[in-house]
Chain A
């Protein structure tokens, strides 16, 4: 039985090509009709890949045709990549571990792969060969995440801010957040905070209309711009992104407000350029000030750490590839390990 992977991804195809070959509900049947005993389509925003097990070699063109939504001739000459045997296993292990992702170490791909696998098992499109391959891939991904720092740290400004907030406050559910200025980045940061449970949101903007619109969009409440400073005694997180030419908050202004809240930290995220908060504010006890540069620098540092971990991850992957290859060479007739038993109904297809 031949294992193969045919696909295109963000590395070699633009979004238009990926859309064109994104697969459809009939792709499974079409792939079986063209000779694949087992086939699984992994279609995400960054990649479209077909993992197949077949008695005879099915050409790349045939597989590509099965992925096209309609019969309209395509303008693309898509550079489909193709991996066979152990290379196929290696590629899948790299994909599920986040090594082949646009942001190295992202974990969303593992969930997407699991979903695709469950769907293929449910329809009977994936049998015991793909079962072994994917179960092994999930194990590899888990091991890579556990034994390396490939997923460590956030890699976008919004998620870095959320991570830092978590490291200061722990549970964010009871945090009070004030957003000063209704910019796009601040909206993204608010949404990231809301996704972690923040419920008390206040928005203050020079133009009350925009402030109210953002407050409505994020389920918060609008605060008059003249009153924002008074809020600093109450809030836990301040996000500023106004277009003010001079700093709106200085040590002198903030210090008196901190006296009453000495045991509660204040996290300030200043994403405005020029900055809204004077740098000396960071010197105050219990105040943690991060501007756009420091957030970006942490994001870059995390990305660098993740990249530095790639070699360690590749080592884990090669060990598993060798083991998987040995298992395939022995054939699947030898007794399977308990961990490799299917979690959903077994569909025996071909041998």
Chain B
């Protein structure tokens, strides 16, 4: 039953994409409220899904890969709802929706929604550690999206080929400022998640710990490079995309490994 909520949520995000695609095809792009509302509605259905699943499990619904992916998609939508209008990055919805749809479609279509045979005991530190780390993934995802927007805008400015979207994308300096803030938010939350992992009170697989520390180092390096002027903004934007792709693959690895180790 709860899967239907997720399907409706995915449809909402798809509507946002279709609306954008139609407008782009017509040569007119309006970074309108429509995208914000469509994503907002999708977010409400995602929240409803997670809430029902959480009640059924009696704990935070991140017990298998399916739930983890949906939780990440929810974090992305959450950050968009908070960051998008705040930074006047209205077009971000057009970039956010495809990523959320990809994640949710994969979650819905792949046979990964396997319930645990035994009811997992609630562990507040473990739940805090996992959920805060996944929310950090939402910030990293938004930094990745802002990075993609930066690269699109930068390319148009470099090549002098200005498309309709150019006039609706935010200025480069604003995008770079948003990337930096999102990286700090993500890094801060992820650090918090990592530290809380030490209080879980049960042994975690070493590969999981190594992967988590690897992601932490990766984003630490991007931030370090940004402030020590090792990387130009364009490279920081590209690294945000590479970083999130790597983090997402590691997340899959972590969850997959964790599942194979649980009874």
Contact = CB atoms under 8 A, between A and B. Distances in A.
Interface of A: 146-149, 152-153, 164, 166-170, 259-260, 262-263, 265, 282, 285-286, 288, 290, 294, 297-298, 301, 305, 308
A167 B157 contact: yes
B33 to A, nearest CB: 12
Contacts of B171: 166-170
Contacts of B93: none
Contacts of A167: 153, 157, 166, 169, 171-172
Contacts of A153: 162, 167
Contacts, number: 59
B176 interface: yes
Interface string B158-182: 1010101011011111101000000
Contacts of B229: 259-260, 262-263
A262 B225 CA distance: 11
Contacts of B164: 149, 152
Contacts of B28: 147-149
Given A149-B27, A294-B160, A286 B174 contact: no
A239 to B, nearest CB: 17
Dominant secondary structure at the A interface: helix
B162 A308 contact: no
Contacts of B157: 164, 167-168, 288
B232 A262 contact: yes
B233 interface: yes
A308 B27 contact: yes
17 contacts: A146-B30, A148-B28, A149-B27, A149-B28, A149-B164, A167-B157, A167-B166, A168-B171, A168-B173, A169-B171, A169-B173, A262-B229, A263-B232, A265-B233, A286-B232, A305-B27, A308-B27
A148 B157 CA distance: 23
Nearest to B166: A167
Nearest to B159: A282
Rank and list the top 6 A-B pairs by shortest CB-CB distance, nearest first: A170-B171, A285-B232, A262-B229, A294-B160, A170-B174, A170-B173
A298 B162 contact: yes
Given A164-B157, A168-B171, A294-B160, 14 more contacts: A147-B28, A148-B28, A149-B164, A167-B172, A168-B173, A169-B171, A169-B172, A169-B173, A170-B173, A262-B231, A263-B176, A263-B226, A286-B233, A286-B234
A164 B162 CA distance: 10
Contacts of B169: 167
B160 A265 contact: no
A168 B172 contact: yes
B226 A298 contact: no
Dominant secondary structure at the B interface: helix
A147 B234 CA distance: 33
A297 B167 contact: no
A148 B26 CA distance: 10
Nearest to B228: A262
Interface centre among A170, A288, A305 (most CB of B within 10 A): A170
Given A149-B27, A262-B232, A170 B162 contact: no
Nearest to A287: B158
Nearest to B164: A149
Interface in B168-206: 169-174, 176
A166 B173 CA distance: 10
Interface string B223-263: 00010010111110000000000000000000000000000
Contacts of B174: 170
Interface in B140-170: 153, 157-158, 160, 162, 164, 166-167, 169-170
A288 B234 CA distance: 13
Contacts of A169: 171-173
A260 B166 CA distance: 28
Given A148-B28, A288-B157, A301 B162 contact: yes
Interface string B214-225: 000000000000
Nearest to A302: B162
B233 A263 contact: yes
Contacts of B172: 167-169, 265
Interface centre among A147, A164, A263, A294 (most CB of B within 10 A): A263
A265 B173 contact: yes
A131 B47 CA distance: 50
A158 B160 CA distance: 16
A298 B160 contact: yes
Contacts of A170: 170-171, 173-174
A327 B182 CA distance: 54
A148 B164 CA distance: 12
B208 to A, nearest CB: 35
B167 A152 contact: yes
A297 B160 contact: yes
A308 B176 CA distance: 34
A314 to B, nearest CB: 16
Contacts of B176: 263
A259 to B, nearest CB: 8
Nearest to A148: B28
Contacts of A168: 157, 171-173
Contacts of B158: 282, 288
A349 B232 CA distance: 67
Nearest to A282: B158
Contacts of B153: 167
A147 B28 CA distance: 8
B45 to A, nearest CB: 30
Interface centre among B164, B174, B232, B234 (most CB of A within 10 A): B232
